[in-house]
Structure 1
Amino acid sequence: MRTFLINFQLFVITFSLGVFNTYAQDDIFEKLQEIAIIDQKVMMPMRDGIRLATDIYRPKTDEKVPVIFSRTPYNFNSWGDGEQKTRTAEKAYEVVQQGYAYVVQNERGRYYSEGEWDILGIPLTDGYDAFSWMKDQPWSNGKIGTLGCSSTAEWQMAVAALDHPSHAAMVPQSFGAGVGRVGDYYEQGNWYRGGAEQLLFFAWLYGVEHDKYKPRIPEGASQEDLIRISRFYDLAPENPPVDMSEALAHLPIQDILQNIQGKREVFDKMVRRNPNHIDWYKGGLYHDDMEIGIPGFWFASWYDVSISPNLALYNHVRNNSKDQFVKDNQYLVIAPTLHCRYTRATENTIVGERNVGDARLNYSEQIYSWFDLWLKGENNNFKDNTPRVQYYTMGSNVWQSAESWPPENSELKTFYLTSGGKANSLYGDGRLSVKEPNSENVPDSFIYDPMNPVTSYGGNVCCTGNAVKGGAYDQQAMETRQDILVYTTEPLEEGIEVTGFIESSLYISSDAKDTDFTIKLIDVYPDGRAYNLDETIQRVRYREGYEKEVFMEKGKVYEINLTPMATSNFFEKGHRIRIEVSSSNFPRFARNLNTGGKNYDEKQGVVARNSVHHSKQYPSQIRLPIVNR
């Protein structure tokens, strides 16, 4: 009887929540209907005959209006309950209130859109064709702005390089999965960092990839039919819940999705590509040989998965565009938040475990002012009132501004790694010092066992389910491991602001043909709390570039330059600056099995004895961007 009552109570709670969600959604749709003409399941034709499902919300006016366009792989069917659908209605209401048409479209092969889906492998012409269709509508003024975060942002850059005359401005937010190659970063849409696989997409694809045997709407279905059946058939798969912390530990990594009975058609292709594979350059990723030709208002965040490549892309467009107009119309915001969490900042913003203070900003006001300038032609003083770069400095917990990134008053200062050869763990003798080493080489060594990797704890992550917590967490417990080398400054005699890209060079050796080296930058409080700021990794076989693999010889010392990190953090007086060096950060990054093989198809690893050298001959170092005030 007690079990029955508990189950009945759970049913009542679940039913009530469902009714509440439905009422809340009905309420926003009623408000939306009062101000908007709603045209759903418009099947927008592409040049190859494929039709993409599109919902259009536009103001009730006879005047032509500009368009804010979002294209997404996610479900926005307006029937039923669900947070994503309610968010779509809320966004449509907000956009229409501002005097714009809001057009939201599913990528090809997603939900009611026809064709086959391939993450960022869909034709770039889909974006171009959508712009052409929208500009020709009788209600359109011919000006289109693109807006979105994460998967509704990542396609914007490559399409912007097509230079459609109606694509007037863009607002990409947390856009790293659309960055292929920029400068020294060969991330290929967040698949890699320093040549090591980032496992976030392994988890993400499980949750979003549609099966090739999914139910399909018959070709040629009318808009009326699609609206009717969308009330009953959502086409959204419900994948069984999976413990990703366990799932991502499976070897070989090429079988991770198969092992949890996930869909893997797209995954199977991607997991076999190296960081410079030709197929990365055939789809929708942006690469730095593509010329962006429109104004951009870029949004990034310190604890996002690809903060450094995001900033590198902003700088690339700002500094290298052939068009001075384009150079002059790029703006940047960097928030102290997780992936796509800009508007969730509060007067006491907690990122992981760390309170970074009042990180609120008038995001919406600035975005609509930006669109008003470019889509409506308003002389609204956006450029006079908006700093070129707005960035949040953690530690001092203040918004700051600059004309460039990094700020012009930021200069790199070198800190050298030093020890007596026993920097292992928090309790070792590792130090960071501004003094150049003049001693003989006394390397720090540790055993890296791929079957017992250093566990990811906090960090700059996204989309890994329960496998990794994002944000700043106290690393002290992790730092008791012998396979983590810890280097720390003395307590600071005065506060230091570190703002910009963080560069690092390590001199390493190993008895394995190939291995990885990782670095974390950490703010150590007087009471010992050690909060992570950013992290990076380098697969040693790619130390000479991603066009070739060069393996190590046992005992030989090699220099590796890790992909730069980035942050803005004020280390207060009495705090210490710390870096951790290891060979794993799992499951943030895939383990290197140390064999020199393909890695993605291997089940067994070998134990490596890895060393970091620091001496006059081998000056391992980290270069911090110190702001001079």
Structure 2
Amino acid sequence: MSTLFALVIGRQSACRPRAYGDSRADPREGQTLETRTEFVPVSCGANLAALVALPGPGAYPVIIVRTVYGRRNLPGIAELFGGHGYATVIQDVRGSGDSSGEFRLLAQEPEDAVQTAQWILSQPWCDGRLAILGISYLSAASIAIAAEFPEQVKAAVWVTAPVRKELLCFQDGVLRLHHTLPWTYMRKAPLSGFDPEALYRKTPLVEAIPESRDSSWASMLEEGPRSRFWDGSDLWRYVERTRVPGLHFGGWFDFLLDATLVPYAEMLRSGAPQRLIIGPWTHNGTIGGPEKISGDVSYGYWDRQGEDDAREDSVDMSSPFMDECVEWLNYWVRGVGETPAAPSVRCFVTGHRPHWAQFEAWPHPSSRAVRMYLGAERSGNIEDFAAAGSAMPGCTRESFTYDPENPCSTEGGAVWAFPKAGLTPGPSVSSVHLRQDVLAYDSEALDSPMDICGTPEVELYASSDAPDTDFVAMLLDVDEHGVARYVSDGIVRARYRNSLDREDFLAPGEIYLFRIGMKGCAHTFGPGHWVRLIVTSSSFPKFDRNPNTGESVYRSREMRKALQTVYYGRAYPSAVVLPRLG
């Protein structure tokens, strides 16, 4: 060693948030909703079950929610928004709940969504104004409505919008195993029968779900991200055409954070107002559910303060999801209340002195790329460290052996916390540096706090004796006691290092530049702390294991060890690139 899509909104969500503007005087507040089930006819003879909830007689703006998790699980949505003068349509997507037809991941949604919107607009209880509430897969299920009805859709709320394979099932060509497998499994069988230890390690992985039970698992893994299954399932074109005011929510410990940040950036280009809120939340916790994270988002800061200092629980880490939704929709749909808060980005900063920050754009407008070179002479001054490239030796190498039969275990971070099938998200303590198949690179202790806000990246010069393999990078915050906690991570699959559309295999021993994109973060490394970069080849079961054979990853019955070599110095300037503020 070197020096879900899961959605939980129940009746408890129907609690009234603070009111905005004249919405406090809404005469419908407290009235009993009129609810009924309607069946919306769509293509191929399918009928989609929908809960229609009306605040009373008359016509109203309509909030559309299209769900794969069962409309009966979301009564709180109708109760909440009905009290603010909205009709709500909560629909089971094709092949789910009480809707007929066969479920086809993503591909089915645009046509069904458009036909549903047309049906709603033809109803006497719709006043011609629409809004979208999208949460995880629910966003993908409704994105076409925002694109196809720009005049009628007045606003939208997006809590991740996983509209294509690389924002849903794959990350830089690697399967998000800990989510994709249990999520697919529970489509056809109770999750109570899911055995994580056995199914995550199933070889070949394509047999984890028998085709006789659900053929979609084998189809989506046929050629990984290049499988024909994904043809027609890319809904990104609808994101590009969306031009409505959008409120975006995400969490630092949400494994689908990219599905918040990437669509937000694209919709911002449309010129329509967009607001982004990111907190210390998980995928499910973003909407304000009871889910908690493990670890300490203050990275020990409060523990070192005196008794008179504020404690961590004085920093409000709760999600303002319901309040922000009501304010956003009231203003843009009904034209009531105050102008939504500016600036447009509000995010929680983890680490030293955790706090909420606001700024004009994401990434932070004043962030700049600072390179910390592997093998550079260490310094407590980050500027000196970044400039030390000129003082580095010409070329140094370090090697480790990656054995897919004994992968590095995932340690918290941005992972799915779904019961039984998931992991424990959050900045839990990391001990991965103690393994023999890991390279760890540390700075010296920092003289003063260092703020980063954006998306870190690792530029890694490396070789392997295998035709295909993975490289994993982890960014950790190490305190003065040597306790290391998660800040960000990323992975790259060698065969997809240039493109997800083709496979470029490795020549044994040849040196390649691997760019490892990491999760977005806003974090302060405290004085006396140091920055640690971990380089290894697995994070299991967050990601699937690369068998290193060069064969089809998901059909390979064999696994082999791979000798990995990392290079650094003037000839091969491997570095971690941090989005530093200041």
TM-score band w.r.t. shorter chain: 0.7 to 0.9
Any stretches of 5+ residues in structure 2 without a counterpart? 1-9, 17-27, 299-311, 378-383
Tell me which amino acid in the other structure corresponds to 1:472: P
- In the TM superposition, residue 264 of structure 1 has moved relative to its aligned partner by 1.8
SS at match of 1:556: coil
Secondary structure in 2 matching 1:353:
coil
| 1:156-188 residue CA offsets vs partner (Å, 9 max, x unmatched) | 33442334542222101033x32x2xxxxxx43
Normalising by the residue count of structure 1, what TM-score does the alignment of the two structures yield?
A: 0.80
Q: Which moved more, 1:400-409 or 1:368-377?
A: 368-377
1:104-144 per-residue CA deviation (whole Å, 9 max, x = no partner) reads 11001112101111121214111111111112211111111
> Secondary structure of the residue that 2:193 maps to in structure 1?
coil
Q: List aligned pairs for 1:65-104, cutoff 5 A.
A: 65-77=60-72, 85=73, 88-104=74-90
Q: TM-score, normalised by structure 2?
A: 0.86
Q: Is the 8 A contact 2:66 2:93 kept in 1?
A: yes
Q: Structure 1 residue 317 and structure 2 residue 267: aligned? A: yes
Contact 2:167 2:259 in 1 (8 A): no
User: What pairs up with 1:305-454 in 2 under 5 angstroms?
Assistant: 305-319=255-269, 321=270, 327-344=271-288, 351-356=293-298, 357=312, 358-378=316-336, 380-383=337-340, 385-395=341-351, 396-418=353-375, 434-436=387-389, 438-454=392-408
Distance 1:596 1:287, change over 3 A: farther
RMSD: 2.9
Q: How far does residue 459 in structure 1 lie from its aligned partner after superposition?
A: 1.9
**Kept after mapping to 2: 8 A contact 1:148/1:172:** yes
Instruction: Supply the AA of the counterpart residue of 1:410.
Output: S
2-structure distance, mates of 1:238, 1:289 = 33
Aligned equivalents of 2:320, 2:239: Cα separation in 1: 34
* Conserved 8 A contact 1:518-1:538: yes
Aligned-pair identity in percent equals 26
Instruction: Kindly state the Cα deviation for residue 288 of structure 1 after the two structures are TM-superposed.
Output: 8.0
**Aligned AA (1:370):** W
2:181 is matched by which residue type in structure 1?
F
- Structure 2 CA distance, aligned partners of 1:543 and 1:288? 27
Asked if the contact 2:59/2:124 (under 8 Å) is kept, the reply is: yes
Offset of residue 463 of structure 1: 5.5
Question: In the alignment, is residue 135 of structure 1 matched against residue 121 of structure 2?
Answer: yes
Alignment check: 8 A CA contact 1:333 1:390 kept: yes
Q: In the alignment, what sits opposite 1:616?
A: 570
Q: Is the 8 A contact 1:245 1:466 kept in 2?
A: no
Task: Identify if the C-alpha distance between structure 1 residues 257 and 48 changes in structure 2 by more than 3 Å, giving closer, same or farther.
Answer: closer
Q: Aligned partners of 2:242, 2:422: CA distance in 1, in Å?
A: 36
- Letter of the 1:256 partner, please give it: A
Which residue matches 2:519? 565
Query: 1:231-250, aligned counterparts within 5 Å?
Result: 238-250=190-202
Structure 1 residue 493, shift from structure 2 partner: 0.3
SS of match in other structure, 2:564: strand
Matches for 1:478-517 after TM superposition, within 5 Å: 478-517=432-471
Structure 1 Cα separation of the partners of residues 564 and 166 of structure 2: 28
Distance 2:292 2:328 in 1: 29
Residue 388 of structure 1 and its aligned partner are, at CA, apart by 0.7
Query: Partner amino acid for 1:394?
Result: T
8 Å contact from structure 2 (residues 258, 519) kept in 1: yes
Opposite residue 360 of structure 2, the aligned amino acid is E
1:443-499: CA deviation from partner (whole Å, max 9, x where unpaired): 1100001111111111211266345222211002x2210111111111110001111
User: Which amino acid in the other structure matches residue 194 of structure 1?
Assistant: D
Change (3 A) 1:193 1:148: same
* Separation in structure 1 between the aligned mates of residue 279 and residue 516 of structure 2, nearest angstrom: 24
Provide the C-alpha distance between the structure 2 equivalents of 1:316 and 1:46, rounded to a whole number of angstroms.
30
Aligned-pair CA distance for 1:192: 1.1
Structure 1 segment 107-256 matched on structure 2, within 5 A: 107-163=93-149, 165-175=151-161, 177-178=162-163, 180=164, 187-199=165-177, 200-207=179-186, 209-210=187-188, 238-256=190-208
Q: Relative to 1, partners in 2 of residues 1:23 and 1:441: Cα closer, same or farther, differing over 3 Å? A: closer
In the aligned structure 2, how far is the partner of 1:248 from the partner of 1:341? 25
Deviation track 1:547-566 (CA, whole Å, cap 9, x = no partner) reads: 22111112111111112431
From the superposition, tell whether residues 563 and 300 of structure 1 become closer, same or farther in structure 2 (CA, over 3 Å). Answer: same
Residues 44, 168 of structure 1: alpha-carbon distance in 2 compared, 3 angstrom cutoff = same
Retained in 1: the 8 A contact 2:50–2:71? no
1:587 counterpart SS class: coil
Return closer, same or farther for 1:343/1:41 CA change in 2, 3 Å cut-off: closer
Q: CA deviation at 1:529?
A: 1.5
Count, aligned residues: 537
Match in the other structure for 2:484: 530
2:31 aligns to what?
Answer: 35
- Deviations for 1:57-91, whole angstroms, at most 9, x for unmatched residues? 1102x3421111111111233xxxxxxx3xx2222
Residue number among 34, 44, 53 corresponding to 1:57 in the alignment: 53
Tell me how far apart the structure 2 counterparts of residues 517 and 158 of structure 1 sit (CA, whole Å): 36
SS at match of 2:481: coil
Any conservation in 2 of the 1:188–1:285 contact (CA below 8 Å)?
no
Q: Which runs of 5+ in 1 are unaligned?
A: 1-21, 78-84, 181-186, 211-236, 322-326, 421-430
Distance 1:158 1:563, change over 3 A: farther
Following the alignment from structure 1 to structure 2, what is the Cα–Cα distance between the partners of residues 147 and 173? 8
What is residue 471 of structure 1 aligned with on the other side?
426
The residue identity in structure 2 corresponding to 1:459 is G
SS in 1 for 2:279: strand
Cα distance in 2, alignment partners of residues 262 and 189 from structure 1: 28
